Amino acid sequence: MGDSTKCFSAPPVEAEHTLNFKGGKDMKKIRKLLCAVLAMVMVLSLAACGGPSSEASKAPEGNNSSAPAQSNQGGEPSNEEVTLNWAIWDKDSTAYWQALADGYMKGHENVKIEMTDLGSNDYMTQLATQLSGGNGELDVVSIKDIPGYANLINLDLLVPLNDKLTTPKEDFNGVLDQLTAEDGNFYGIPFRSDFWVVFYNKDLFDDAGVDYPSNDMTLDQYDELMRKMTSGSGAEKVYGGHYHTWRSAVSLFGILDGKNTIVDGSYDFLKPVYERVLKQQEDGVVPDFGELKTSGLHYSAAFQNGSAAMVNMGSWFLATMQKYNAEAASNGVEPVNFGMVKYPHPDGAPAGSTLGTVTSLGVNVNSTKQEAAIDFVNWCASAEGAAVVAATGTFPAASTSETLDIIAATEGFPEDAASKEALTTAAVYLEMPYSPKASEIETVLNTEHDAIMTGAETVDEGIKNMNEQVQAILNG
């Protein structure tokens, strides 16, 4: 997967695996919270697969509260029935869409939510095409990536939401500032988030007699640990670390101190990052980038087959590993005894500084039901909506201790305290923050990244090209 499809929200397919709840003491601790949430999402097990691309869901029975509703003429709010059309992708394989719709409708009986599934391929292009028609057919839009988000803003197709947000801005851990356009407004409110951590194989560490990584690990310490954990050769080779071929897995270590950005056309700060990773590659501490590109070896396979002691990856990989372990016996493979720790950070940056992606919701500027649409968007990002998202095994954008308890109580979550602590973050830097030229910038950065990592260009040559080409884009 290229970075352009994952910088805003789109983690790999395995991110959509849901997590299974386990019993015991952890479950008892959060039973009260889950009772209400599970009632909302149990209807998922009754939903049939397939169906037309636009599906209406009737509001489940519940209390008598109602959402603000607007007439087609945009009149005063009322309790009249209102139907919201919500643009999404991959409804049948993504649990949280229906869960959020059902959760909201349960408490807003006058609202019916229809979902228009545009599919994941070229989703943002299809969405822009529909919205550009100037009609209000779609009311709520799901935003998949930053380049597409920037395009919708450039086309004046979204409602500014700065003055509409009801969840405290600080609950989003600095992400909203990175979604703010040049006019000072943000046009999407995140409801789902993924952030990067380090996954490690406990058995490999035990066999090597090396202490597990910690939740306060600098980049120098990460490098040292990789070297300690590298052993063997040929088919018996164990790499201390594994960088996937995405640019974000390597170069974005450079933004974790909060001093630099990848959208301003100045990339000299990336030189020590690339030099460190290329030295690790030269020393055989991590697999060769070119060989990974050629072989197509996925990071999940490298970690699951025991050839990588550590993998830096997004939190979506947790669900993949839980599913792998749950099905290991039936698939004739051994489960992986794994743990997680916070992302390695530069000197001077706090532990918990990490990369992130978000999925956001926006409102069609041509919708005649904007007030009701905004109310739904705010609910999805609220603590109540966050609990619904967490109950599907997905990380909400505005996490609380309760939602983290839900995630940690899922079947197959590592039992150690450090893994649960790894779920808390200090600062989250988007893999691609907002820029009106995000798509063009990313194309340049990805091209030069591949050239540097394969040795087709030196680090200095690649960074020079980044500086010149991105500056030309920004000045164009």
pLDDT digits (tens, 9 = 90+) for 127-159: 999 999 998 999 999 999 999 999 999 999 999
Q: What's the average model confidence in pLDDT over 458-464?
A: 98
Residue 25 pLDDT greater than 70, yes or no: no
Residue predicted with more confidence, 257 or 49: 257
Q: What's the average model confidence in pLDDT over 15-30?
A: 43
Contacts by residues 276-284 (CB-CB < 8 Å, ≥ 24 positions apart)? 276/219, 276/223, 277/243, 277/250, 277/453, 278/452, 278/453, 278/459, 280/223, 280/226, 280/241, 281/453, 283/227, 284/230, 284/237, 284/239
Write the pLDDT tens digit of every residue in 56-83. Answer: 443 333 333 445 544 333 334 457 899 9
CB 379 within 8 A of CB 386: no
Distance CA 446, CA 13 (A): 21
User: Over pLDDT 70: what percentage of the chain?
Assistant: 84
Assigned token pair, 242: 């594994």
Q: What's the average model confidence in pLDDT over 454-458?
A: 98
Residue 40 pLDDT greater than 50, yes or no: no
Residue 89 pLDDT greater than 80, yes or no: yes
Residue 28 pLDDT greater than 60, yes or no: no
Q: What's the average model confidence in pLDDT over 218-236?
A: 97
Best CA proximity match to 318, nearest among 427, 190, 195, 145 = 195
Assigned token pair, 351: 């532990």
Q: What's the average model confidence in pLDDT over 199-209?
A: 98
Write the pLDDT tens digit of every residue in 286-309. Answer: 999 999 999 988 999 999 999 999
Question: Residue 80: its pLDDT value, please?
Answer: 85
Residue 423 pLDDT greater than 70, yes or no: yes
Write the pLDDT tens digit of every residue in 312-358. Answer: 999 999 999 999 999 999 999 999 999 999 999 999 999 999 999 99
Question: Residue 19: its pLDDT value, please?
Answer: 52
Residue 279 Cα to chain centre, angstroms? 29
**C-alpha angle with apex 227: 226 to 230, nearest 5 degrees?**
85
Best CA proximity match to 5, nearest among 247, 364, 295, 300 = 247
Distance CA 116, CA 57 (A): 12
Q: What's the average model confidence in pLDDT over 196-207?
A: 98
